[in-house]
């Protein structure tokens, strides 16, 4: 294996010689693989791996977080969500803070665990739903098959249309490493709309070999001026994707404008719950609570550069808070909180 790795790296060196090539990955788990195996150190310096907005916890703007806090403050509900989300701070509060103050906040591994809680309890159970197309089908299934006292606050985002914003931003990206498990759902076909830009994309799995192979495919495509879509992760990604998952996702959710931390509002990326399922939509069911909600700015985040990290414009080291005021134990920005956040990953592997 080590021998094969060396051969692939040499091919990458040969193909990229004399050219600056910037490749952006779109999944936090890819950043984890890249950092864990220190892949940047074995690639030639002219081939750069940039970190993109592929961490669903990191891109949730403070507004969504504050709305959920507001709900907890004003209604006696059981709030369920994934563990990462519960640690994201706004000012000096997080969902764990509310739990320590006696609010019923529960961490679940899957939305189906939250449904089970709703079956057991008489109280209203709200699931704070985050995640991209990988996660949304499970939430859609839960919305269709859950007891009356189960609701979803949808902070999901459609990832595929967000790529448009990255392409149109004033950034020099020569190729994209596309997320393996989002692609398992949406299929290779979802990226066809991006062929027009002539920027190659390679869907990749999560082993170090997968990522290196994707880098090789992209460097070769750049050399050959081929703006194609490549699928390295054929063991999990089909051309059509998981059609049943797409159907249930589209049956339950619709797309609207969506705000992203660092990227602003991106059309088609917000995820609303369709009227047919409005009795499950926390935004509508608890409308009266949200009526008097007004978002605020978090002064603590004034110097947090999470937004630029998410666009690959800087690395965590360029942020003056990184490992000074902002650490995994006391995170200021979500990129330091989430296991898929670039700052957290760089801190974990002591990249400096």
Partner 1 sequence: MCLAIPAEVVEVEWPYATVDMKGAKRKVRVDLLDDVKVGDYVLIHVGLAIQKVSKEEVEEIDRLWQKILEE
Residue 27 as a binder of partner 1 (CB under 8 A): the answer is yes
Pick the piece of the chain touching partner 1 (CB under 8 A) from 50-58, 65-73, 272-280, 318-326.
50-58
Pick the piece of the chain touching partner 1 (CB under 8 A) from 217-225, 242-250, 263-271, 283-291.
242-250
Cα gap 43→6, rounded to integer Å: 10
In the chain the first and final C-alpha atoms are separated, in Å, by: 28
Cα gap 27→212, rounded to integer Å: 15
Residues 198-227, interacting with partner 1 (CB under 8 A): 206-207, 209
Q: Which residues pair with 176 in a beta bridge?
A: 24, 201
Residue 94 as a binder of partner 1 (CB under 8 A): the answer is no
Cβ distance to partner 1 smaller for residue 89 or 131: 131
Residue 29 as a binder of partner 1 (CB under 8 A): the answer is yes
Q: Are 129 and 240 in contact (CB under 8 A)?
A: no
**Cα–Cα distance list, 236 to 63, 203, 254 (Å):** 35, 10, 26
| 264 φ, ψ (degrees, to nearest 5) | 75, -155
Residue 307 as a binder of partner 1 (CB under 8 A): the answer is no
Who's near 134: CB < 8 A, 6+ residues apart? 179, 181, 182, 184, 185
x/- map, 109-128, partner 1, by CB under 8 A: xxxxx---------------
Applying CB under 8 A, among 43, 49, 141, 162 the residue interacting with partner 1 is: 141
Applying CB under 8 A, among 12, 28, 60, 158 the residue interacting with partner 1 is: 28
Residue 138 as a binder of partner 1 (CB under 8 A): the answer is yes
Element (DSSP H or E) covering residue 127: strand 125-129
Cβ distance to partner 1 smaller for residue 181 or 220: 181
Cβ distance to partner 1 smaller for residue 60 or 105: 60
Applying CB under 8 A, among 42, 107, 236, 285 the residue interacting with partner 1 is: 236
Strand, coil or helix: 169:
coil
Cα gap 273→143, rounded to integer Å: 9
Residue 54 as a binder of partner 1 (CB under 8 A): the answer is yes
- In this structure, the strands spanning 264-273 and 253-260 are antiparallel
Applying CB under 8 A, among 64, 84, 232, 298 the residue interacting with partner 1 is: 84
Minimum distance, C-beta of residue 105 to partner 1, in the bound complex (Å) = 18
Cα gap 273→262, rounded to integer Å: 24
Strand, coil or helix: 29:
helix
Applying CB under 8 A, among 52, 61, 137, 175 the residue interacting with partner 1 is: 137
Strand, coil or helix: 139:
helix
Applying CB under 8 A, which residues contact partner 1?
Answer: 1, 27-29, 54, 56-57, 82, 84, 109-113, 130-132, 134-135, 137-138, 141, 179-182, 184-185, 206-207, 209, 235-238, 242, 244-245, 248, 338-340
């Amino acid at each position: 294996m080590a021998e094969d790795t060396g051969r692939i790296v040499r091919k990458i060196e040969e193909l990229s010689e004399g050219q600056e090539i910037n490749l952006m990955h779109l999944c936090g788990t890819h950043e984890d693989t890249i950092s864990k195996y220190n892949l940047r150190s074995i690639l030639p310096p002219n081939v750069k791996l940039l970190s993109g907005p592929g961490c669903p916890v990191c891109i949730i703007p403070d507004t969504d977080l504050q709305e959920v806090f507001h709900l907890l403050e004003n209604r006696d509900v059981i709030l369920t969500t994934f563990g990462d989300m519960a640690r994201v701070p706004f000012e000096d509060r997080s969902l764990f803070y509310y739990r320590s103050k006696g609010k019923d906040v529960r961490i679940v591994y899957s939305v189906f665990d939250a449904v089970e809680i709703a079956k057991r309890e008489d109280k209203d159970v709200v699931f704070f739903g985050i995640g991209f197309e990988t996660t949304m089908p499970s939430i859609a299934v839960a919305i269709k098959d859950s007891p009356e006292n189960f609701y979803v606050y949808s902070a999901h985002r459609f990832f595929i249309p967000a790529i448009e914003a990255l392409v149109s931003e004033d950034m020099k990206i020569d190729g994209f490493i596309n997320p393996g498990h989002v692609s398992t759902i949406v299929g290779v076909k979802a990226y066809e709309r991006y062929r027009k830009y002539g920027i190659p994309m390679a869907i990749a799995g999560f082993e170090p070999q997968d990522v290196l192979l994707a880098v090789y495919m992209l460097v070769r495509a750049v050399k050959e001026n081929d703006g194609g879509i490549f699928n390295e992760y054929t063991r999990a990604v089909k051309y059509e994707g998981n059609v049943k998952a797409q159907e249930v996702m589209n049956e339950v959710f619709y797309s609207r404008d969506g705000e992203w931390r660092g990227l602003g509002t991106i059309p088609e990326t917000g995820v609303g719950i369709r009227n047919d399922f409005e009795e499950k939509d926390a935004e509508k069911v608890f409308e009266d609570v949200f009526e008097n909600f007004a978002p605020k700015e978090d002064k603590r985040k004034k110097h947090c550069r999470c937004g630029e990290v998410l666009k690959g414009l800087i690395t965590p080291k360029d942020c003056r808070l990184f490992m000074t005021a902002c650490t995994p134990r006391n995170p200021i920005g979500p990129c330091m909180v989430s296991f898929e956040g670039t700052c957290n990953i760089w801190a974990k592997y002591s990249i400096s």
